[in-house]
């Protein structure tokens, strides 16, 4: 008779949380899931930004619209992701489109709010100086306010991107969740290595995206670096 401790050790060894052998044998699945996860995240954030920028600019130039716009985005954000995907599925089908619409919806609140905060945070004396130079409303927005709001905008894009990486995994409920597919498959089969590998890849993707955006933000706002060193 084999001691219980030996049985437990054999069980742990047969189903480890970390397994390079799993990575080698499932390289194709991991690559496809990571590519799917990455493209979904990038597309969702880009689409959300294209929608959020004019909405935030409108809310900034028309203060009465700010509360309704941010409020509407906030209401959409409070809808649980699983419920939102389930509600969209009858209209947009099972798959990529449903997940993409849901991710764009969630990213909108973060982006609209940060862009509005960035635009409203521009110093009034800066606006007054631009008006004194003959800047009209459109030129003031494009040439003065948006450049000065870039740090807040970049922060919003970083936050939206990281949260989108996490939310993409929930897309598994409609059959298109990137690394979430592997996580779900691992939980269903109790395959520890599949669960942890997909989780670590998701974490690495979030960190990589955040680092790229941080560096990009530093490059496009050189004045913020000089202000910090003085």
Q: What is the pLDDT of residues 176-205, one digit of tens each?
A: 999 999 999 999 999 999 999 999 999 999
Indicate whether 1 pLDDT > 60.
Answer: no
- DSSP state, 122? S
Domain 31-219 has CATH 1.10.3720.10: yes
Cα(35)–Cα(145) distance, integer angstroms: 36
Confidence of residue 35 (pLDDT cuts 50, 70, 90): very high
Domain boundaries along the sequence of the chain: 31-219
CA 7 from chain centre, in angstroms, equals 43
pLDDT tens sequence across 45-103:
999 999 999 999 998 888 887 788 878 777 877 888 888 888 888 899 888 999 999 99
Q: Are 202 and 169 in contact (CB under 8 A)?
A: yes
């Amino acid at each position: 008779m084999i001691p219980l401790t030996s049985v437990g050790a054999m069980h742990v060894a047969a189903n480890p949380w970390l397994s390079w052998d799993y990575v080698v044998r499932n390289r194709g699945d991991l690559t496809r899931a990571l590519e799917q996860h990455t493209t979904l995240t990038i597309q969702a954030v880009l689409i959300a930004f294209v929608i959020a920028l004019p909405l935030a600019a409108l809310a900034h130039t028309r203060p009465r619209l700010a509360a309704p716009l941010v409020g509407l985005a906030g209401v959409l954000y409070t809808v649980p992701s699983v419920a939102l995907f389930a509600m969209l599925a009858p209209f947009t089908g099972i798959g990529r489109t449903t997940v993409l619409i849901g991710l764009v919806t969630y990213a909108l609140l973060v982006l609209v709010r940060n862009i509005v905060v960035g635009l409203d945070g521009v110093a009034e004396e800066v606006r007054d100086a631009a008006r004194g130079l003959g800047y009209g409303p459109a030129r003031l927005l494009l040439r003065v306010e948006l450049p000065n709001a870039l740090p807040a905008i970049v922060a919003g894009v970083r936050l939206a991107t990281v949260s989108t990486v996490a939310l993409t995994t929930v897309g598994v409920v409609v059959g298109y969740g990137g690394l979430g597919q592997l996580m779900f498959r691992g939980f269903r089969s109790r395959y520890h290595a599949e669960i942890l590998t997909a989780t670590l890849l998701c974490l690495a993707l979030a960190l990589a995206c955040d680092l790229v955006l941080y560096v990009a933000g530093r490059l496009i706002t050189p004045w913020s670096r000089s202000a910090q060193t003085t």
